[in-house]
Structure 1
Amino acid sequence: MTLIAIEEHWITPDLTSALKALPRPDESLAFNEMGDHRQRLEDLGEGRIATMDAQGIDVSILALTPPGTHPLSPGQARRLSSAANDTAVAACEKHPTRFRALSTLPMSSPEHVVDELVRAKEMGHVGTMVYGRSGDRFLDDPVYDEFFAAAAELRQPVFLHPQIPTDAVRDASYRGLGELTDLALATFGWGWHLDTATAALRLILRGTFDRHPDLQIVLGHWGEMLLFWLDRADSLARAAGLPRTVSDYVRTNFHITASGMLNPALLTHTLSVTTVDRLIFSTDYPFQHPTRDEIDSFLGHLTTDEDRRKFTSANATALFGLDL
């Protein structure tokens, strides 16, 4: 059984340096320095492949680690997005049976986003990864509508990945508990996921999928909590004057991946909201690192061989147009 993982992170030393040099660096960069994360993130060769082999992963779809180039100035974002996309393609060309890649885009320079998306697609990128905002500009801002139109037309799925909430939100909700606890609460413990679910909801409420019905979004971490609150979120459709419920958009325009959270209870709930055709495997490497035994045990909770085939490879192959 082929196993494809679609959210496998990496970074370049140049991007790390640029992000750390910002007047107020993203505090979540600290996670890249924990243990051997930095070494693993920068490795696009034999070390990463050896880990894949140990886990039983046949193909990794490489995705730049948070916060990507989003916090950078327009000029820096254009330069480093282009360089990162070139680097990822070079790794894929060197290891064509093991790697594919999601592009990164200069979202702080909206007028250049589509050009880089098109260039990345032409080079072989199979989709793109973005975050819920760039600076103070939300992803649903009308300035990005041309990007979503292009992503839909080019059949480039958009992975909407977590990022740390704004300082204003952190001041209001995520501070006062101690430095380390504050950061954990604002990131992997809660804030990352709530922030991403809100960004996804804003795209729906803005009418993005009514304008671009072929647009496909990927959410990690079993839907970033959104799938667990759809009974309430559905009421927003009426308030926003949408033609469909939020649940309907989720079932038709969103794919959901595991991000290494191999909890069968999360799988069960997700399947109560959407179908197995919308689920995709990922490990969120190197931040989650399930063993082969843990992966095999989890896959046993999918009840049929066909469901396992969809989750492990068929859905990713179809969504990203993979030629393996």
Structure 2
Amino acid sequence: MPLIAVEEHWNMPDLMSALRAVPHRDESLAFNEMDDNLERLEDLGAGRIAAMDTQGIDVSILALTPPGTQPLPPREALALSRAANDLAAAAVARNPARFRSLSTLPMSSPKDVSGELERAASMGHVGTMVYGRSGDLFLDDLAYDDFFSAASELGQPVFVHPQLPSPAVRDASYRGFDPMTDLALATFGWGWHLDAATAALRLILRGTFDRHPGLQVVLGHWGEMLLFWLDRADSLSRVAGLQRSVSDYIRSNFFITTSGMLNPALLHHALSVTTIDRLIFSTDYPFQRPTADDVNSFLRHFSSDRAREKFSSANAASLYGIDII
């Protein structure tokens, strides 16, 4: 059966140069430069397709690598978001049977976000990827409400990806070790995922899905911890005056991806919280690189061929409007 991977990262040199020049630059950029990651990130052609073939992936949905353009000043963020969207659209046009793409948005310039989302959608981008905070502005701030309205109306799913926690949060919770351990704790070891889960929970508590009930959000890494704490998070609904429980929003407005974490225990827990219709395959390339054997072994843990098909391709195809041949 076909295999669609929805969180497959790429990068462009102009963006890396701009991000390196930002004062107090995002230290997680170092992960882009480890091993051969940067070479793989910048390859939107034969090398990437060869890697997909080796893994057994039929279609990759490309997404600009963290932190996107969000740390940049508004004018620069807009220019580089437009350049990234043009470049990704061109890559898809060259290989339409193998690639789709998520747009990059100038979130540090809220007034420009909806316009760029609409432009990118008109070019064929099938969704967008954003982060939980731009400077001091949270994703749930009403400054972004027009963006969420446009995403809902255009049928553009919003992938909320992890990012480095703010300096204040890092100082409070993630310092006190050697620099590399500090960074690891604040990123892949813990902080990234708690930060993304908090961003998603804040969107729910802000009433985003009450105002935009058709909006669909995607979370990686098996729901960024949120799926494991819904018994407690549900108690927030009454306090916040929401129309539904947090769990209900998760089941009706969120899709969950694997991000290369092919652990059957995580699958079983996810299925106890949401349904097979809400689970999607992804590898988080090139940061995770499961082999074809890894993928096939994991797929054997599904209860039926229909469940495997939904996870492997049908859910992503429906969400992102991809024709499966």
TM over 0.5: yes
Aligned to 1:187: 187
Distance in structure 2 (CA, Å) of the matches to 1:120 and 1:303: 38
Question: How many pairs were matched up?
Answer: 324
**What is the deviation of 1:152?**
0.2
Distance in structure 2 (CA, Å) of the matches to 1:52 and 1:26: 29
Where do residues 186-205 of structure 1 align in structure 2 (5 Å cutoff)? 186-205=186-205
**What is the deviation of 1:50?**
0.2
**What is the deviation of 1:322?**
1.2
Unaligned runs of 5+ in 1: none
**What is the deviation of 1:24?**
1.0
Distance in structure 2 (CA, Å) of the matches to 1:40 and 1:118: 29
* Structure 2 counterpart of 1:136, one-letter code: D
SS, match of residue 236 in structure 1: helix
**What is the deviation of 1:177?**
1.1
| Cα deviation 1:213-272 (Å, max 9, x = unaligned) | 000000000000000000000000011011110000000000000000000000000000
Superposition TM-score, scaled by structure 1 size: 1.00
Aligned to 1:122: 122
**What is the deviation of 1:211?**
0.2
Where do residues 64-143 of structure 1 align in structure 2 (5 Å cutoff)? 64-143=64-143
**What is the deviation of 1:79?**
0.3
Aligned to 1:34: 34
**What is the deviation of 1:178?**
1.0
Identity of aligned residues (%): 74
Distance in structure 1 (CA, Å) of the matches to 2:167 and 2:132: 14
Unaligned runs of 5+ in 2: none
Distance in structure 2 (CA, Å) of the matches to 1:225 and 1:80: 31
SS, match of residue 287 in structure 2: coil
| Cα deviation 1:7-38 (Å, max 9, x = unaligned) | 00000000000000001110000000100000
Runs of 4+ in 1 over 2 A off after TM superposition: none
Distance in structure 2 (CA, Å) of the matches to 1:131 and 1:302: 31
Distance in structure 1 (CA, Å) of the matches to 2:21 and 2:34: 19
Q: CA RMSD in A?
A: 0.4
Distance in structure 2 (CA, Å) of the matches to 1:323 and 1:106: 29
Distance in structure 2 (CA, Å) of the matches to 1:100 and 1:205: 32
Matched, 1:10 2:1: no
Distance in structure 1 (CA, Å) of the matches to 2:232 and 2:181: 29
Distance in structure 1 (CA, Å) of the matches to 2:53 and 2:303: 25
* Structure 2 counterpart of 1:191, one-letter code: G
Matched, 1:249 2:246: no
Matched, 1:55 2:55: yes
Distance in structure 1 (CA, Å) of the matches to 2:304 and 2:260: 21
Matched, 1:146 2:146: yes
SS, match of residue 27 in structure 1: coil
Distance in structure 2 (CA, Å) of the matches to 1:243 and 1:95: 44
Distance in structure 1 (CA, Å) of the matches to 2:298 and 2:102: 26
Distance in structure 2 (CA, Å) of the matches to 1:189 and 1:40: 23
